[in-house]
Chains A and B, each alone.
Chain A
Amino acid sequence: MNDASEPRTGLDALPGDLMMWILIVSELLVFGAGLAAFLGVRLTDPAGFAEAQSHLHRAMAGINTVVLVSSGWLAALAVHAAEAGRIARTRLLLAAASVLGVVFLWIKGLEYAEKAAQGIDVETHPFFTFYYLLTGFHAVHVIAGIVILGLVAWRPTARNTEVGTAFWHMVDLVWVILFPILYLLG
Chain B
Amino acid sequence: MSVTQAWLFLIALSLGSTALAWTGVDGGWAALAILSLAWLKAQIILRTYLGLSQAPSWSRGFAMVLGFYMLGMMGLAVAAG
Contact = CB atoms under 8 A, between A and B. Distances in A.
Contacts of A181: 35, 38, 73, 77
- Chain A contact-residue range equals 35 or more
Contacts of A177: 38, 42, 73
Contacts of A65: 14, 18
A133 interface: no
A180 B80 contact: no
B73 A36 contact: yes
Contacts of A173: 42, 45-46, 49-50
Given A69-B10, A70-B7, A77-B3, A169 B49 contact: yes
A186 interface: yes
Nearest to A169: B49
B76 A42 contact: yes
A43 B51 CA distance: 36
Nearest to A62: B18
Contacts of B77: 39, 181, 185
B45 to A, nearest CB: 5
A112 B46 CA distance: 29
Contacts of A32: 69
Contacts of A73: 3-4, 6-7, 10, 49
Contacts of B15: 62, 66
Interface of A: 8-9, 13-16, 24, 32, 35-36, 39-40, 42-43, 46, 49, 58-59, 62, 65-66, 69-70, 72-73, 75-77, 80, 162, 166, 169-170, 172-173, 176-177, 179-181, 183-186
